[in-house]
Structure 1
Amino acid sequence: MLNLITHDAITEIKMARPPVNALNLELLRAIQGAIDDAVNAGTRGIVLSGAQGMFSAGVDVPALLTSDRAGVYEFWREFFVTCSKLARTPVPVVAAITGHSPAGGAVLSLFCDYRVMAEGPFRIGLNEVQVGLVVPECIQMALRRIVGTYRAERLLVAGAMIESSQALACGFVDELAGPEQVTTRAVQWLNELLALPSHAMLTTRALARADLIQVWADVDALPIDQFVDATFHPETQAVLQQLVARLKKKD
């Protein structure tokens, strides 16, 4: 599920669930555990990366569609817990977006401190609306923090998937690097940050992220039930079934 790589004081958590790093319960829980283990071991920073060409394809939709309501609730709660873990991690986290990053993959990157994306014909976006899913307010606010209110509205309502150059232009990602250099650049940026006076940097960081931390401090206070209800909406189920059928044709 994961490859853990040490870069001196930095821990790289590399998603490794072929072929597209689709997010299921096991991968989400593995990410959570790896973050906790790294922090407890004294890491000073974390890089979350994926495979070259594909950061994460987002939610494992075929698995989700075979789950009953309890299973869907369990999945979304674990997804939200993972977002919360990234938001509240006491050390800086950089998303090394090594390729395409739709939906859930893009969401995870929102909770990191910085985003380095592969340059080229790679797309990123919260395309939930295109597949019939509602984007909850707690995730919308995370995007608004990064790209601003109006730009977030346009991207979210359209379910837009934008190329890396567009993502850089609107602030969705902070910089681009060659596909083979994304993780290297993420580590470099993090090392530059960690070279600053630690107490001042970390305290300022905590203050700057206080709004995000407050919203995500208690996952069970988030409207997970409403999100599960929306997942079972007939229109959503129909669109997701069509998506799975298209995926099967590609196999």
Structure 2
Amino acid sequence: MTSNVLTDLRDGVVTVTINRPESLNALTRETMEAVAAAVAKAATTARAVIITGNDRSFSSGADLQGSVQEGGLGLDRANAIIRSIIDLPIPTIAAVSGPAAGIGCSLALACDYTVMSEESYLMLAFTKIGLMPDGGATALVAASAGRHRAMKMALTAQKVWAKEAFEWGLTSEVTQAGEQLNRAQEIAAQWAQGAPLAFASSKGAINAATLTELDDAFDRELKGQTALRESKDFAEGVTAFIEKRGPNFTGE
């Protein structure tokens, strides 16, 4: 297991911690694969899973510099990881602090239960670099918050702070700053003592009823994102981000 992802198993609960504080827990291909491996192992060793970051950040999204060098996160694989978390037979909970942005937002929303610090926020900032939401976000956000709120997040790239995220149905509850992991641990401990077959059946039924568009969303996002990555706007968006300036998009 890479040091970029830490795991801890206690009393039937696996805590998976994204550990790249220098980049606000930005996700590389290696980091995503490590999260996937930890979650897959948890299916046979635990009764509940917590996915978290640190007090500054859950995840700021894809590591643009690292992922460009690696040829991207590998969206088809990233989609498979998001799907594997949703399909996990044991309940999952995201403990969110700071930003949960881009693919980090999808990672949080893929969990069955989300606890957000009052100082945290969700964000789909893709259009700022000439891309579209991915990781199933076009379906995950719309399934919880509705079409117009999904459009607002995608087209404005604004931060949706914890209180508003709760009002929109994008998070299960909000805690005081720094208490998100403690609260997640309380809930996961209860799940670890619960009925695993009932949890698995309940999860499967609710996800089947509410995420009917998820696989189609993965396909649309993959096709759209692949085309957008070939655009001059994407190249300009990444360059502007790295140079910390506003982009000059031309629609090419």
Which consecutive residues of structure 1, in runs of 5 or more, have no partner in the other structure? none
On the 8 A contact 1:24/1:75 being kept in 2, the answer is no
SS in 2 for 1:55: coil
Q: Does 1:60 align with 2:63?
A: yes
Cα deviation per residue 1:94-124 (whole Å; 9 max; x = unaligned)? 011122222121111111101111112x332
- 2:159 maps to what in 1? 161
Which consecutive residues of structure 2, in runs of 5 or more, have no partner in the other structure? 246-252
Which deviates more from structure 2 when the two are superposed, residues 100-109 or residues 163-172? 163-172
SS in 1 for 2:83: helix
Cα offset for 1:5?
1.6
Q: Does 1:23 align with 2:27?
A: yes
Cα offset for 1:78?
2.6
Please list, as runs of the form range in 1=range in 2, the aligned pairs for 1:1-251 lying within 5 A after superposition: 1-19=4-22, 20-41=24-45, 43-67=46-70, 71-72=71-72, 75-120=74-119, 122-136=120-134, 138-211=136-209, 224-246=222-244
State the aligned residue count: 241
Take 2:193 and 2:215, find their aligned partners in 1: how far apart are those partners? 28
Cα offset for 1:136?
4.8
Cα deviation per residue 1:180-221 (whole Å; 9 max; x = unaligned)? 221111121233345444333321221111156765569995
Take 2:135 and 2:5, find their aligned partners in 1: how far apart are those partners? 30
On the 8 A contact 2:92/2:112 being kept in 1, the answer is yes
SS in 1 for 2:59: coil
Cα offset for 1:162?
2.0
SS in 1 for 2:244: helix
On the 8 A contact 2:106/2:135 being kept in 1, the answer is no
Cα offset for 1:152?
1.7
On the 8 A contact 2:134/2:218 being kept in 1, the answer is no
Percent of pairs with identical residues = 19
SS in 2 for 1:53: coil
Cα deviation per residue 1:17-55 (whole Å; 9 max; x = unaligned)? 2311111011010001111111122x1110000011111
Take 1:12 and 1:137, find their aligned partners in 2: how far apart are those partners? 22
On the 8 A contact 1:87/1:216 being kept in 2, the answer is no
Letter of the structure 2 residue corresponding to residue 51 of structure 1: N
Letter of the structure 2 residue corresponding to residue 124 of structure 1: L
SS in 2 for 1:47: strand
Letter of the structure 2 residue corresponding to residue 203 of structure 1: S
On the 8 A contact 1:77/1:219 being kept in 2, the answer is no
Letter of the structure 2 residue corresponding to residue 186 of structure 1: A
The RMSD of aligned alpha carbons is 2.5
Inter-CA distance 124–211: structure 2 relative to 1 (3 Å threshold): same
SS in 1 for 2:74: helix
